[in-house]
Structure 1
Amino acid sequence: MAAVARLAGVNAGTVSRALAGSSLVSAETRARIRAAAQELGYPLFDGPTTERESERQVLVALRDIANPFFSDVVSGIAEVAQDAGCGVLIGNTFSRPDVERRLAANFLSGAVAGLIIQTGHLPRELEHLRDLKRRAIAVAVPIEEAGLTTVGIDEFAAAKEAVSYLIALGHRDIGHIAGPPAPTNASRQRGYRAAMSEAGLELDPARIVPGENTMRSGQEAAMVLLSRLPMPTAIFCANDEMAIGAITVCKQKGLRVPEDVSIVGFDDVEIAEFYDPPLTTVRQPRRELGRRAMIELMALLDDERVETGRNIILPHTLIVRGSTAGVS
């Protein structure tokens, strides 16, 4: 892209915007850039040739559309996109580098105007793209040091509130089933630690067991926590799936939830309200996260005066249900 920019006499950001079909680039400049690309035989410039084609397409990169949290975020994105006459392409990465490379190539080709990223990291091919901050938004999962505008909640404050609620119920021995390495899960663990520390409670490393954000990993982590003596009277889980897995293990061991062990989740996916017992959890405004991310992306694409690199925080809510109770 840099070589094309030099030959066309423009900067790399203008090249990227032109080949994404941005109305901010004049027809004359766009033609000069395409001519330079053709002369150099640059392979990334086989995408849409008209402004309308590219401006009506946005790519959403996420780890797994089957995850109920992500599917709700995508619904919010699609709602705004449809109202604006914009198409949405879903890129399900399954955390596979080869899939991420293909998605990056699709973005670089100019086939889509913008990118919404839920994976928590950038494909290597996009890490040094100079104008990425004007064409991409991170949603729900921040990407550290990428400089992208991010739409999410205050994960630290939400986790701290959830654990402080357990402490207010009289729990003093609280375990934590942590999520896999990611900025969001790190913030949730910091919130757990901060609540325990401020209450003057012991921070025992053995009370923190890693999970993989799945029900099965929640079961496995809960088995570890509940086998250690003294057994914790409450468990804070980094997401709802792991919390549900923890509840199933309690039942298998003959423990009552919440009478013997209180369980708290995070996210408030749909099944949380209907599980037995209904799950106390932190509610993220999932659909609104998607809506706001799409609104912010459209603003970036349409107006260069919009500031990049902002951290947009939406409110969370602690939803108290039947999986928590005071210490008897």
Structure 2
Amino acid sequence: MSEEGPLKMADVARLANVSMSTVSRALADNPLIPEDRRREIQRIAAEAGYVVNQSARSLRMRKTQTIGVVFPLGHDVGQLISDPFFIEMFGRLADEITTRGYQVLLCRVTDTSEGWLNRIIQSHRQDGLVIVGQSDQHEALNKAADTYLPLVVWGGHLTGQTYCSVGTDNIAGARRAVDHLLGLGRRRIAFLGMLELPEIALRHEGYVRALRAANLDPDPALVIPAHFSFETAYEAARELIESGTPFDAIFAASDIIALAAVQALAAAGVDVPGDVSVVGFDDIAIAAQSTPPLTSVHQDLAKGAKTIVDLLFKRMAGEDAPSATLLPKLVVRKSCGGSPTG
């Protein structure tokens, strides 16, 4: 820093005896400037203590080198980003984004009143957006996608969807889970989850299809609303137990709900898997470490994050990249009573 304030690009240009535009290109590693000349200008700037003003540069280039990762949680303000599924997904997205030389801007949104997504887009704080979960904002996402191309959503693929999404085949994953329970002789299978959410509704659809394929009529008394937080899921499972409705298995819409159900069953003196089999969805890291280890539908978040970011960068380049669906895998552990596979 000089006595008169921070060193300016004009000062570097004077020291290097070149124009300011040449300095700008050299510091940006632009190949229009010969490599030897670039390195010399970069050396002069470094020795003089010049630091690129990234904010000013972003304004000039109309790029921020930042990707926004948004968690819309208006449907369940009690759910935190510390949720194990969110932590793993965010970590994998951050790895993919930063590997490409971009920064990550994290945003947890609980106020999803009209225009919330447009306000984020119009802030111009990011070059593209990843939305983790559709929440109850399917129409808002559709509307934004009409005019904003660099947007990719983690979630299920829905009828009439216009935005780009990446997600597991929720129907197929649920069918595999319920088919497995049916194969173990379970017939009174409860479903725990929030049907208002698109991904959970798809998992419920898979649950219903599996039951009907086995010539079983779904019982509405076995469909229990359950939020994603452990405490609320525990209460939902406890209410099912205390209702007196007979059941011999639980298919939970997430691993956190499943793990809460296991604890509620244990507190009520119900043996898992002897009396009740339990299966979750996500296969988060703690699923294999629980007591008993949890059978779960595995979502390949590493592949999911890479696919999301690949599609987003194509869209940032102006391509209309299509949605993608990942295949699920059922990982069988002791909580269902079957022979373990993982």
Measured against the shorter chain, the TM-score band is 0.7 to 0.9
Residue aligning to 1:166:
181
The answer to whether structure 1 residue 196 and structure 2 residue 205 are counterparts is: no
The answer to whether structure 1 residue 322 and structure 2 residue 334 are counterparts is: yes
Find the aligned partners of 1:111 and 1:275 in 2 and give their Cα distance.
Answer: 40
Q: 1:119 to 1:139 in 2, by over 3 A?
A: closer
Residue aligning to 1:58:
67
Q: Which runs of 5+ in 1 are unaligned?
A: 1-45
The answer to whether structure 1 residue 87 and structure 2 residue 96 are counterparts is: no
Find the aligned partners of 1:172 and 1:126 in 2 and give their Cα distance.
Answer: 39
TM-score scaled by length of structure 2: 0.73
Find the aligned partners of 2:299 and 2:271 in 1 and give their Cα distance.
Answer: 27
Q: Classify the secondary structure of the residue corresponding to 1:150.
A: strand
Residue aligning to 1:266:
281
Q: Classify the secondary structure of the residue corresponding to 2:291.
A: coil
Query: Are the aligned partners of 1:73 and 1:288 in contact in 2 as well (CA < 8 Å)?
Result: no
Query: Are the aligned partners of 2:145 and 2:151 in contact in 1 as well (CA < 8 Å)?
Result: no
Q: Classify the secondary structure of the residue corresponding to 2:262.
A: helix
Find the aligned partners of 2:304 and 2:337 in 1 and give their Cα distance.
Answer: 30
Query: Are the aligned partners of 1:140 and 1:289 in contact in 2 as well (CA < 8 Å)?
Result: no
Q: What is the Cα deviation at residue 228 of structure 1?
A: 4.1
Residue aligning to 2:124:
110
Find the aligned partners of 1:247 and 1:52 in 2 and give their Cα distance.
Answer: 51
Q: Classify the secondary structure of the residue corresponding to 1:127.
A: helix
Find the aligned partners of 2:252 and 2:92 in 1 and give their Cα distance.
Answer: 25
The answer to whether structure 1 residue 311 and structure 2 residue 320 are counterparts is: no
Q: Percent identity?
A: 28
Which protein has greater RCO, CA pairs closer than 8 Å, 6+ apart? 1
Supply the AA of the counterpart residue of 1:78.
A
Query: Are the aligned partners of 2:145 and 2:162 in contact in 1 as well (CA < 8 Å)?
Result: no
* Number of equivalenced pairs: 274
Find the aligned partners of 2:58 and 2:114 in 1 and give their Cα distance.
Answer: 21
Q: Which moved more, 1:114-123 or 1:293-302?
A: 114-123
Residue aligning to 2:88:
72
The answer to whether structure 1 residue 219 and structure 2 residue 234 are counterparts is: yes
Query: Are the aligned partners of 2:142 and 2:162 in contact in 1 as well (CA < 8 Å)?
Result: no
Residue aligning to 2:198:
183
Q: What is the Cα deviation at residue 90 of structure 1?
A: 0.6
Q: 1:168 to 1:126 in 2, by over 3 A?
A: closer
Find the aligned partners of 2:233 and 2:187 in 1 and give their Cα distance.
Answer: 21
Find the aligned partners of 1:113 and 1:123 in 2 and give their Cα distance.
Answer: 22
Q: Which runs of 5+ in 2 are unaligned?
A: 1-55, 74-79
Query: Are the aligned partners of 2:69 and 2:107 in contact in 1 as well (CA < 8 Å)?
Result: yes
Q: 1:113 to 1:143 in 2, by over 3 A?
A: farther
Runs of 4+ deviating beyond 6 Å: none
Find the aligned partners of 1:108 and 1:142 in 2 and give their Cα distance.
Answer: 26
Find the aligned partners of 1:236 and 1:158 in 2 and give their Cα distance.
Answer: 11
Find the aligned partners of 2:305 and 2:141 in 1 and give their Cα distance.
Answer: 25
How do residues 134-153 of structure 1 correspond to structure 2 at under 5 angstroms? 134-140=149-155, 145-153=160-168
Q: What is the Cα deviation at residue 289 of structure 1?
A: 1.4
Q: 1:166 to 1:113 in 2, by over 3 A?
A: same
2:294 to 270, 274, 279: 279
Residue aligning to 1:9:
none
2:266 to 251, 254, 260: 251
Find the aligned partners of 1:125 and 1:162 in 2 and give their Cα distance.
Answer: 30
Residue-by-residue CA offset, 1:139-166 (whole Å, 9 max, x unaligned)? 1355764511111110011001100000
Q: What is the Cα deviation at residue 97 of structure 1?
A: 2.7
Supply the AA of the counterpart residue of 1:321.
R
Kindly name which structure, 1 or 2, has the bigger radius of gyration based on alpha carbons: 2
Q: Classify the secondary structure of the residue corresponding to 1:231.
A: coil
Q: 1:179 to 1:126 in 2, by over 3 A?
A: closer
Q: What is the Cα deviation at residue 311 of structure 1?
A: 2.6
Residue aligning to 2:112:
97
